[in-house]
Amino acid sequence: MYTKEIEITLAQTAKDLLQRLEQQKLLNNADETMEALRRVIAYNDWRYYVQSDPVLSDYEYDQLFAWLKKLEAENPHLVSADSPTQRVAKGLTKEFPTVQHLVPMLSLENSYNADDLIDWDRKAREAAGLPEIEYCIEPKFDGASISLIYENDMLTRGATRGDGVAGEDITTNIRQIRSIPLSAGFSKYGIHQIEIRGEVLINKNTFKAFNEKRIAENQPPLANPRNAASGSLRMVDPNEVAKRGLEAFLYHMSYHTMERGKEEPDAIKTHSGTLDLLSTLGFRSPAKEKKVVKGVQAVIDYCLWFEQERDNLPYEIDGMVIKVNDYALQDKLGMTTHHPRWAIAYKFKARQATSKLRTVEFQVGRTGSITPVAKIDPVHIGGVTVSSISLFNEEVIREKDLKLGDTVLVERAGDVIPYIVKSVADLRNGAEKDIVFPTHCPVCKDKLFKPEGESVWRCININCEAQVVERMIHFVSKDAMDIKSFGESNVRKFYSLGLMHDIPGIYQLDFDKIGELEGFGKKSLSNLQSAIAQSKTQPLHRLIFGLGIRYVGETTAKTLANAVSNIMDLQHFSEEQILALEDIGPKVAGSIKQFFSNKDNIHMLQQLAALGVNMENTKSSAAASGGLSGQTFLFTGTLAKLKRSDAEEMVEQQGGKILSGVSSKLNYLIVGEDAGSKLEKAKKINTIRILTEDEFLEMVKGDNNG
């Protein structure tokens, strides 16, 4: 529970501890020091994971954490169950035993429009015998429901919903979610035992990054954040759970007992009071998102307003929940066999629809991967028309038991790409046909291969036309060489007209001929010409990424660019040398080595060099401006080369300023290993430049010189 005074005290304690750490000086004794460390770390966890505004730098946090671990190792009898070190779990979970909920977890009745709500409100008013009811409205989180038990302030159990009566004991995994406090001061309110409910979520950005990684590794992406959250909660390795970046909102008190002789505090006489209390006790609850209103019209207004905000939220919600605010009135209204009468869900417009699966096309990617793409009768979902849906690989077709002619359920959640949830087998009439996966490349007709342990079929003919074209499309794309106004359609057009046949051809186009094509006026021709010319000076990492080397994403491309002074240096790197670079594993290293060992690829690079494309690792442009004065910086994650404090000093010596959190005031975020929420937050503010440690070093070196 953090009042302003306590926050100030804790911030001071944090400073004091950091100073003492340098002098290796305890407070009065180890016991007291450990208690202070636990409190400061838990406080920073709350600031970081609940408030998104940490008070300690990651480096300071790590130092205090390490100190606590050291003291605990020296004083094992003083380790408490709610110590932040105790989140870290050892070993795999063998099973998730079934456990009974203290109170069955009911589901909510659904409503879909204003009339449904008006109806529900009328019934509630009649049952209550009141002219008007006070409601609390909050988002309906679209994740996996959980229930937590705290006893004597300690988190003693975390469970899944299960069938509502009994769920699975997932306490170890729940402890990996850093926004869930391991202990909370319920006893200050006289509460002895409490069961609280909530929802575990994966935020949209974390989910997107997670799926991008899966796709890069040729694994089918997970369908939506909800599935990702519920899947994550049941993983057997708690350390993997910790890496998923799960978040939790707690929104319901289902059961509680008071300490003997204690009166129930006013704070928990209403639902809105409970949300505030949970928030005060360090939980993430919809305390800020909630709204308390009187009468049904205000309910409708808030639901409609929030629906518009839906896509601006960092997490998925699928509706709103309206609850009678006063607990005494909730009790009076009671429940039916399925639902409480005092609450209702207002569901937003569906992002699901059914359609017919007509055909499956097999597309060849730039690395030769064969992707089945379902063509369905166009359907409208959430404001867009969907007619084409990637099925990723053969296994997905089999798992979902898809057949041509099937009625399929299609979902498109928020920014998530549309996907087929399932086929509706009940609606089959016998005319459906099996989907036959090709044995040969649909474009070059070469035989397809599926390497051991992989789920994707491939055409391994690197001269396959489809691959050649896809590679060019990738090369000119925004994240690669960013040749504006080129685009996929021009690549296809120029290729099919024989105006270019490979990547170097992009720089040898005959503009006279293009000028004769329909749709190319003087202006568009000169735009294209200058965009192509400009791309020759793109930084090296864009060229490397643009080459489309298998498994080499933007980050790896940057790592490679930073490791050389000219791209040709990579020819001479051994696989071991590549492996030694940051975050590059054997699979990636093997692919890079293979690319630069191939004579055709080297020849292509020589051609590009001769055509004037930049092959050098040039200094970052910020370096040229000289001096960091007026610029703000923040470091996150573990730096490989510099000590955090040295890096910060370098910034300050050159007139720059270190900020403590990510905000629109920040100019540069320097990202080390295992960067977490700060990076996520920074990505959302497009004025922040995100640099690697090497890029930062380049930049300050440049400033020293200039």
Segment near ligand IVH (CB under 6 A), from 100-108, 123-131, 325-333, 625-633?
A: 100-108
x-or-dash pattern for ligand IVH, window 233-272, by CB under 6 A? ------------------xx--------------------
The residue (of 190 and 231) whose beta carbon lies closer to ligand IVH is 231
Q: How far is the CB of 686 from ligand IVH (least distance, A)?
A: 31
- For residue 379, the cross-strand partners are 386
In the chain, helix, strand, coil percent, each to 5? 40, 20, 35
Q: CA 151, CA 189: separation in Å to the nearest integer?
A: 13
Q: CA 226, CA 207: separation in Å to the nearest integer?
A: 10
CB contact at 8 A, 136 and 253:
no
Q: How far is the CB of 695 from ligand IVH (least distance, A)?
A: 41
Q: CA 291, CA 134: separation in Å to the nearest integer?
A: 10
285 belongs to the binding site for ligand IVH (CB under 6 A): no
Terminal alpha carbon distance of the chain: 50
Q: CA 300, CA 295: separation in Å to the nearest integer?
A: 9
Pairing of strands 458-459, 448-449: antiparallel
141 belongs to the binding site for ligand IVH (CB under 6 A): yes
269 catalytically annotated = no
Catalytic residue, chosen from 123, 140, 204, 484, is 140
321 belongs to the binding site for ligand IVH (CB under 6 A): yes
CB contact at 8 A, 459 and 469:
no
Look at the block and give the residue holding tokens 């070469």.
446
345 belongs to the binding site for ligand IVH (CB under 6 A): yes
Q: In the structure encoding, which two tokens stand for residue 604, read together?
A: 């292509």
Segment near ligand IVH (CB under 6 A), from 16-24, 137-145, 201-209, 415-423?
A: 137-145
Residue of 57, 145, 369, 614 interacting with ligand IVH (CB under 6 A): 145
- The CA-CA-CA angle for residues 122, 139, 133, to 5°, reads 25
140 belongs to the binding site for ligand IVH (CB under 6 A): yes
Residue of 106, 396, 525, 658 interacting with ligand IVH (CB under 6 A): 106
Residue of 55, 68, 108, 557 interacting with ligand IVH (CB under 6 A): 108
Under DSSP, is residue 630 helix (H, G, I), strand (E, B) or coil?
coil
138 belongs to the binding site for ligand IVH (CB under 6 A): yes
302 belongs to the binding site for ligand IVH (CB under 6 A): no
x-or-dash pattern for ligand IVH, window 195-214, by CB under 6 A? --x-x---------------
Pairing of strands 632-636, 668-671: parallel
Q: Which residues, including other chains, have CB under 8 Å from residue 534's CB and lie 6 or more apart? A: none
The residue (of 317 and 570) whose beta carbon lies closer to ligand IVH is 317
413 belongs to the binding site for ligand IVH (CB under 6 A): no
Q: How far is the CB of 20 from ligand IVH (least distance, A)?
A: 43
Q: How far is the CB of 175 from ligand IVH (least distance, A)?
A: 20
Q: CA 415, CA 505: separation in Å to the nearest integer?
A: 35
Segment near ligand IVH (CB under 6 A), from 67-75, 133-141, 205-213, 374-382?
A: 133-141
Q: In the structure encoding, which two tokens stand for residue 167, read together?
A: 């769920």
Which residues form the catalytic set? 140
Residue numbers of the site for ligand IVH (CB under 6 A)?
106-108, 138, 140-141, 145, 161, 197, 199, 251-252, 321, 340, 343, 345
